[in-house]
Each structure stands twice: as structure tokens, then as C-alpha cells.
């Protein structure tokens, strides 16, 4: 058990890709108190239990055999999981190859705050998606990509936007009556762009941008995307990469450039640098 440089708890049972079980858990106390889990299980079994939090997840591969809400389910790849606080469940592998899952745990207080932010009104009662398991491969694929950003990103803005987009997709697809369409509203998006461009090295939050735009979190993301074609975290990342390019040309090492541009570490910077430029930072610097 270790604590990452972000201050989040990381639990690892086995090395990834070892053909054995692997589990990592990260806590985000500054983001509604959520936790994210990424796991591959082969022979793991769970006794009957319930969570105090809302549990949202996806089965990435294999089959998870799980009892919930009075019946046993064989939950295959491409399934989305939506459990309420207090839902008793138990189970294990539904096949010899086990299963891989990604989970998001949101405390009730955090979920109420998120729903009020999305809908503009205080929620009443417990949110219910009508079922615990949904065969929705397209939604599952989006969930996995957004969960990856939540689980791994070292940037607050990336995590903030990923959480908003993930929950927005769940509500839109599985509980459309809960989340009305975002209001168009007049937004100071030009000022938001200027703010991101002038704070490239900083770990900006979505709340910072909402203070400037005058809109709620979901509305700010939508308005920014309409204006630029990108969500705000992607815009900020490309600006960071541009700064790294300039610093590399000035002779800084990739590690020093990553730190000065506000990346979590050199590896984090390298992944985004190559994804945007098509070349590694080292090769760029030598060129």
C-alpha cells in the first residue's frame, strides 16, 4: 500500500499484465470525496455487503457473476453498473478468465452536490437508474475512457471534466428525466480561454473556470466546447505541450520542461506530448 505524489491512496496486489490479479484504488477527497477502482480479478469472491456510496462501474472484459436486488446476474463485457447506497450484492468470476472492472464510488453528500450542480435544484430521495446492470457497450466504452482520466490524471482540470462528462453521460443515457439539457446561457468563454492561456503552468480546477464563465460546471464545459471544439482540459493540455516544446528548444531537459509546464511528472508529460505531436520529447529535442 502506497501514497502517490497526488496524495491519493494506491493499493496494488500484483503487477499489471502479470496474468494475475491486480487492484488499484485512488481516493479524491478534493473531488466530492470520490474513490476510483481499477481491478482485474481471477478468483476473487465477495461476501454479501453494501456500500454507503453510489457505485457506478463498467465491466471491461470477462464476466462478473453477481447477486443483486434479489437475483443472480451474469454481467459481461460492455455492461454498465449503477448501484444505490445500501444495495446488498455479492459474487465472483463468471468464467475461468475472471473479469476486469472499473468502479467509481460517490458519497451521498457528494452525489447530492453534483446533482444540484447539474440540474440547478436540490435533489430529493435516492437516485435510481431502474436496474443495477445495463447492457450498453457504447456507454461502457465512454465510461472506461473517462474513468481512466479520473483514475490516472495528475491534473485537477482533467479529473473535474472527466467526472462531469462521465456522470452527464450516465444521466443522459440512463436517467434522462433527471438531467435537463444544459442551458445555453451567455458565457464569458473568451475570458476562460485567456485565463487558461495565462495559467499554463498551474493546476487549474473547473471551479476556477466557472467563476469566470458565470455558468455551472456542466454548462461551462459545453460552452467551451462549442467555442473551441475542445473541452477545457484538452485545451489546457495542448497549451502545456506547446510550452514544453518551447522549453525543449531552449535546452531544458524533458524532466525539467515537464515540471515547469505543470505536469505531474515526465511520464505524464511524455504521453500527452506524443499524442499531440506524434513524437517523443527526447526525439523532438534532438531534432
Q: Please give the model's pTM, rounded to 2 decimal places.
A: 0.77
Q: Verify that 152 and 280 share a domain, yes or no.
A: no
Q: What percent of the chain has pLDDT over 90?
A: 70
Q: Is residue 183 part of a domain?
A: no
Q: Is 176 exposed, middle or buried (0-12, 13-18, 19+ CB in 10 A)?
A: exposed
Q: Is residue 182 part of a domain?
A: no
Q: Verify that 107 and 238 share a domain, yes or no.
A: no
CATH number at residue 145: 2.60.120.10
Q: Is residue 181 part of a domain?
A: no
* Grid coordinates belonging to 253: 531537459
Q: Verify that 141 and 225 share a domain, yes or no.
A: no
Q: Verify that 30 and 61 share a domain, yes or no.
A: yes
pLDDT tens digits along 109-166: 999 998 888 777 777 788 889 899 999 999 999 999 999 999 998 889 999 999 999 9
Q: Is 77 exposed, middle or buried (0-12, 13-18, 19+ CB in 10 A)?
A: middle
- Residue identified by cell 473541452 is 231
Q: Is residue 162 part of a domain?
A: yes
Asked which of 143, 174, 205 is the last residue of a domain, the reply is 174
Average the pLDDT over each of 6-10, 16-20, 34-38, 164-168 and give the range with the smallest value.
Answer: 6-10
| DSSP calls for 239-281 | HHHHHHHHHHHTT--HHHHHHHTT-SSHHHHHHHHHHHHSS-H
Q: Verify that 194 and 162 share a domain, yes or no.
A: no
Q: Which domain holds residue 207?
A: 189-287
pLDDT tens digits along 68-77: 999 999 999 9
C-alpha–C-alpha distance, residues 177 and 200, integer Å: 38
Domain count, the chain: 2
Q: Is the pLDDT of residue 169 over 50?
A: yes
Q: Is residue 114 part of a domain?
A: yes
Q: Verify that 167 and 251 share a domain, yes or no.
A: no
CATH number at residue 284: 1.10.10.60
* Best CA proximity match to 178, nearest among 169, 186, 187: 169
Q: Verify that 254 and 144 share a domain, yes or no.
A: no
Q: Is residue 100 part of a domain?
A: yes
pLDDT at 16: 42
Amino acid at each position: 500500500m502506497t501514497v502517490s505524489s497526488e496524495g491519493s491512496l494506491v493499493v496494488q496486489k500484483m503487477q499489471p499484465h502479470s496474468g494475475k490479479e491486480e487492484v488499484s484504488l485512488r481516493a479524491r477527497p478534493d473531488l466530492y470525496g470520490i474513490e476510483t477502482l481499477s481491478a482485474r480479478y481471477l478468483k476473487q469472491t465477495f461476501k454479501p455487503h453494501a456500500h454507503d456510496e453510489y457505485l457506478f462501474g463498467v465491466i471491461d472484459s470477462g464476466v462478473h457473476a453477481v447477486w443483486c436486488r434479489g437475483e443472480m446476474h451474469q454481467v459481461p463485457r460492455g455492461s454498465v453498473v449503477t448501484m444505490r447506497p445500501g444495495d446488498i450484492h455479492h459474487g465472483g468470476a463468471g468464467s475461468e478468465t475472471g473479469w476486469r472492472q472499473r468502479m467509481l464510488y460517490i458519497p451521498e453528500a457528494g452525489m447530492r452536490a453534483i446533482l444540484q450542480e447539474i440540474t440547478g435544484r436540490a435533489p430529493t430521495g435516492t437516485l435510481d437508474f431502474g436496474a443495477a446492470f445495463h447492457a450498453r457497450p457504447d456507454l461502457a466504452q465512454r465510461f472506461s475512457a473517462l474513468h481512466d482520466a479520473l483514475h490516472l490524471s495528475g491534473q485537477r482540470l482533467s479529473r473535474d471534466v472527466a467526472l462531469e462528462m462521465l456522470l452527464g453521460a450516465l444521466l443522459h443515457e440512463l436517467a434522462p428525466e433527471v438531467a435537463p439539457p444544459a442551458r445555453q446561457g451567455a458565457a464569458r468563454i473568451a475570458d476562460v480561454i485567456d485565463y487558461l492561456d495565462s495559467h499554463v503552468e498551474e493546476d487549474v480546477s473547473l471551479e476556477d473556470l466557472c467563476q469566470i464563465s458565470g455558468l455551472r460546471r456542466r454548462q461551462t464545459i459545453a460552452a467551451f466546447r462549442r467555442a473551441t471544439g475542445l473541452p477545457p482540459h484538452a485545451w489546457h493540455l495542448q497549451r502545456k505541450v506547446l510550452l514544453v516544446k518551447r522549453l525543449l528548444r531552449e535546452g531544458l531537459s524533458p524532466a525539467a520542461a515537464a515540471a515547469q509546464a505543470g505536469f505531474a511528472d515526465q511520464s505524464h508529460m511524455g504521453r500527452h506530448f506524443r499524442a499531440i505531436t506524434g513524437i517523443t520529447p527526447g526525439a523532438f529535442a534532438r531534432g
